[in-house]
A and B are shown apart, each in its own frame.
Chain A
Amino acid sequence: MKKTLLAAAALCAIAAGSAHAEMSGGTVKIGVLNDMSGLYADLAGQGSVIAAQMALEEFGGNVNGTKVEIVSADHQNKPDIGSNVARQWYDVDGVDVIVDVPTSSVALAINDVTREKNKVFLVSGAAASDLTGPKCSPNTVHWTYDTWALANGTGKAVVQTGGDSWFFLTADYAFGHALERDTSAVVEANGGKVLGSVKHPLQNADFSSFLLQAQSSGAKVIGLANAGGDTTNSIKQAAEFGIVQGGQSLAGLLVFLTDVHALGLETAHGLILTEAFYWDANDETRKFAAEFAKRNRGIHPTMIHAGVYSSVLHYLKALKELGADADGAKVVAKMKEMPTDDRLFGKGQVRVDGRHIHPMYLFEVKKPEESKGPWDYYKLRATIPAEEAFRPLDQGGCPLAKS
């Protein structure tokens, strides 16, 4: 009698234990949410889905025998559409983690929804440093880059080479505002001056009016606090109005590989930019890029794609260790506890405020004659070591970092 009772208790314990280790809904669902059709579709878009798939394939397609699925959606750069998709995914479709989400205004909305539902949010595409600052969350990891890191890279480099008075062309939403704020701080801290700024609508086509205002400001540097198609159009039209010949220089604060490809080296050469990843860095990144490009209509991976790959891989590793995906905050805690290591970002860690720490790189765009062909665009100017690349923990104002 005693024996059977004991056996029953043991069985119960095993059953409870295995029930605990099960994944919610019987699968792990990864939702890639980004701009699939607008101005950010090339630098994130379908490529991010491919990057997530590559991470999953490399991991073996399952976590401890539980199937992993990838779904995707287009948020059209609109916070309301983004949060509707997120709610639908979390509440109805059983999605456990949302990845990528460029467009900071949308990312900030998803940040709130994810925390409310206690799921996981892995940010690669969005830039606003608020995500690990005042808006930091125990459910969010900010992987690839942020506005502070961009300002610290490009902004600092430009001020130190003599560009000490600035005028900003700023995309009028959360990202542009954050980038202008963080860059202004760097400019002023390094002895420079900010003469003014003009805010333009997102996905604007004609920049001549704004460029003219920047020109008449007399600033030495025109800082482009925008991204994607907005940046390429600003740079292209600045050439038309003779801004650079007139003695002013342009600082593209967020320029992606796909933007340089779209501009062509004729127009883009000489631009200085900060990135977390470049495909032509070593054998592993080249191998990754070759496979990625084959699956993505020849488009080579941007740092956002690399960040999606790397963050999904680390998420899966944490799940494997933890054995359960239901409690998002626990999964993120595990991700912070385990050191990160993969073939694109190398060794790193996720800080308590959710910031993923790794080196950043300052690149210069090659002259046409220096390039061996399409996608051979950057030469390395400087490596910013991991401990200097991101905002120090105590300066972000993140409540998680205080306790």
Chain B
Amino acid sequence: MKKRIVYFGVAVLMIALTGQALAGIFDELFKPQQSQSEEEAPGQEKKGLVDGLGDLFGVKKEEVDLLKKGLGVVESLQPIGEEEEITIGQAVALEAFSRFDGAYTNEALVRYVNLVGRTIADVSDRPNLHYKFAILNSLEQNAFAAPGGYIFVTIGLLKTLSNEAELAGVLAHEIAHVTQQHMLKTIRRGAILSNVSEFTMAAMKKDPEMFAGVIDEATNTLFNKGLDKELEYEADALGIEYAYRAGYNPNGLKNYLNILHSQHGKAESRFFSTHPPTKKRLRKVKKQLRNYEDGSSFPTLTTRFMASMEAS
């Protein structure tokens, strides 16, 4: 009898714990690891050393701001708004079409790339932006994202792919650049260095020289110099997460990087100069994919991809 009471007590305790203190533990345990930056809202600025010291010594924010001014590290430029971001994106898109042999105009293939892209963008961390995807006529392997959700992939890159999961991996990497506003933050940093004090629609319209200068710098970064290496690694990590969320086999990006790596020295691609070494990217990507083993049974959609490419 006593034993039964003990068993009953344990059962009641377990049920109570299940609903309360242990709630969500399994989910947290099995949740794929995400990069730290994903937790930060787009546009949110990290606290600097001065802010941190201010917090530590209980100094008021206003006083910390004054100190920052004195130190010359004031961030005088407000974060760039969404309307401004889209305007910059449009101008960069014009340059993309100009420099990469114009638009590849097969309507069905463009539609297909947009459907893959939208499937990923919808589960990203910035799903409310209007993402638009275009194919460039260039035979060089390239893909890039302009601010405001303008995403490009060349026909040269598409022709190296074997399935939809690889395309999803490439597009998810670019979508991550947009959700984290990588290009926009780089532009803002450049604008601060160039002493641009205002970056509103009115200011851009009033000063076309300033606007053109900003676009020149942005396109030079995007097409020639490349973004910071750390931003590329972050886009790789987030891209895998987004492709996984969208239900694609998360190995797609890794498979494309393998293709790229095998073509080093043979194929024409600015990826080799604008991105970190492919070997190093592959090493990091493979390590991250250990957290997505349940996604290895997700589809690669080879037949649908091949059919779309052959029809183009």
Query: Are A and B subunits of one complex?
Result: no
A residues whose Cβ falls under 8 Å from a Cβ of B: none
